Structure 1
Amino acid sequence: MTANTSILGSVSDENMSVVAYKAFMLKRRIILALATEGDCTIADLSRILSVSNPTITKLVGELIQEGYVRDLGKIETGGGRRPCAFGLVSDSGYFLGVTILDDTLCFGVIDLNKNTVTVQKDVPFAYGTNAQFVDNLVERIGEFIAALGGARDKILGMGITVKGRVDAASGVIYNTMNADGFPLARIVTEKTGLETIVENDTRAMTYAEYLSGGSGGVQNALFINVGRGIGVGIIVRGKLYYGKSGFSGEFGHIPFFDNEKICQCGKKGCLETEASGMALETIFAERMREGASSILSDKFLRGETVTMHDIIEAAKNDDVLSIDLITGIGEKLGRGISVLINLFNPELVVIGGPLSEVGDYLMLPIRTALNKYSLRLVTRDTTLRLSSLGDTAGVLGAALLTRNRMLGIL
């Protein structure tokens, strides 16, 4: 893996003349304009960038030669000479997304025009120590890129999503293994030569759903990631909301219940203690010990761990106990979401993450709870729906965030 030296790569004005640097940055602005506005004529680009037609014409010509822009031919106008339109060449550059899950990785690639090129799920992965974690990650990344064939030399950047707290600005992760902070983005960049960003998994999922999930111009939205934990991604006025320190969205750690259950964060009574995948696993084990029956009974009685994913699959196969427990989780989760709706008054709430795979078994009790606990005037204009991207939301979000940061959109 080698460092990216493309028009979108890092550049220092110390390495080129003033004239060359200005031309380089103008080319970036042209690519940005085409990425945000879509296909444009020379006149359009001149107006958008406040740069003369001759200069735009010259630089667009150079970008065509470099393979980033293509001439789409003449277009119809209201009269007079028909101008040519120009657009980005989709396969002139690619952006890699990597999602780190409990014991697997997911890879995804998008092109310069945000089209999904490929997604690979369930790649085995082991954490180990910090050093082993990075080495294993870099090795799996290298294997994936090598398998891309000719596209591997056009990877412009990479985004990695992880669970837990992430300082996206610095690329430092904070989780159980790295409570004091670990500079994952810097280390992976050094080891791979690819410009790398790191983002929280829920925020990446939120961004993908917002851009590519059919949100239809919504400006204020919430994405609820329901897995073993619970997180919320927040879109305000069309932008991801991070908060002062970049750690917004700790929905699962709202002190919601008056119980003595200790959350993974060390506090008591968090929403996650009764309305998450971890809570689902705990409640299932309790019901088994009480003598309840399930298609998972044999596995439990053999002393094997019954996971959230096992219970999800059982519910899909009409296991009554699993369905009942997920319904209870949905009702409690709906109460929590009603608080968010009363606070944010969003246009859209999207439910995603592993537990959303059960569909109406989760959604119906959430809807019922929203009707019961949220204010009617606040919630009447809020649309609630399942994620349209499913388990690809995180990896596509990682790639989209990388693309848009490198293009200067973010």
Structure 2
Amino acid sequence: MTVGLSLLALNLRPAIGSVSPLLDDIQESVGLSDSAVSVLTTLPVVCLGVFAAVSPALSRRMGTPRALVLGFLLLIVGVLVRLDQAAWALFLGTALAGAGLAIGNVLMPAVIKSAFPDRVRLYTGIGTAVLSAGAALAAGVAVPLRNATDSWSGSLALWVVPAALGLVVWLPMVRRTGRPAPAAPGSAATGSLLGDAMAWQVTGYLALRALVYFTALGWLPTILADLGYSNATSGALLSVAMLVSVPGALFAPILVGRKGTAPIATTIAVAGAVSLLGLLWAPGIAALWVVILGVTLGAGHAMALTFIGLRAPNPQVAAQLSGMVQTIGYLVGGIAGPLLLGLLHGATNGWTVSLVLLAAFTLPELILGLCSSRDRAVRPRTRQAATAREQQAPQSPALVD
């Protein structure tokens, strides 16, 4: 199962993360407008959020291995469709790949909860570290692969290889597990988490982490360029941020086992704020701030996934909580954050307000992290349970004229 988890995590970023370094080539080759490029870069995040909503239901109906096989198939088809080098193929392929990645994103915590129930923190760290390594690898080799294949589509298509390996590994698990029994109406598996405070706290934490992550991913090179760094240096520093996110993702959940979740969540929030403000206070040592920011990006994402595993009482609820967290988290944080900071930059003609605001978001992140650190499992609320509670509640005396 460790191999299956590693291949799952490895495939969760490269198919979409390899696009950004090739955007100039893609835009020129396909003839995309600037607005179309903006849609293309936002589309994967939208798919991660939208398709995360249906992934728990797929897991309940098909079983987690079958749902993951479906995710790998969508990813493979999406990667291959982009070989056409036409605009429609580029957008359709990206959407299909994003749908497949969304299924894997949501179900990875459920896989960890099911296969390693007593080592959730360790394997969450391993999975998130491999995910971060895949993102860094995709960004780093996209241009060399384009040069080697003499085609941007060839560079993107090579990511079908790890996806095919993941499919090969997960197919035998489908035969071994069989289909799940349908959940009984009114059971916890069919309940809703929308009325659970802890579920919303974990969701809010990931939303704010996603806001910082996708904003940094989208705007950091531009910020550094405006601070006086060359385009080459700015791109290299972004790669450094992605690279150092790997040990951050690996060690944060492990340290949770020794220090507890609250101190680690506090450290991530404080270090994140310092790194963002440091870019304003001391831009001459931007490399230091980028390293600190990169570590917090990996550690923060790992903490969000750790909260899902720790607060879910079983793998089924872990998938349900993960779907809620990632649907809302990616749609809110992944889209609103980059858009808001871009608008603020345009309105103020600088990055001071944007970076200060982004640093200010670490305060509610800290509060939600501390709330999520409480040792309490989320409780899906069934319709029958809600009705019973309402019937048991004391009735207010009738008003008399």
Could you say which structure has the greater relative contact order, defined with CA pairs below 8 angstroms and 6 or more residues apart?
A: 2
User: Which structure is larger by alpha-carbon Rg, 1 or 2?
Assistant: 1
After TM superposition, the score normalised by the length of structure 2 is: 0.25
Higher strand share: 1
Higher fraction of helix: 2
TM-score scaled by structure 1?
A: 0.25
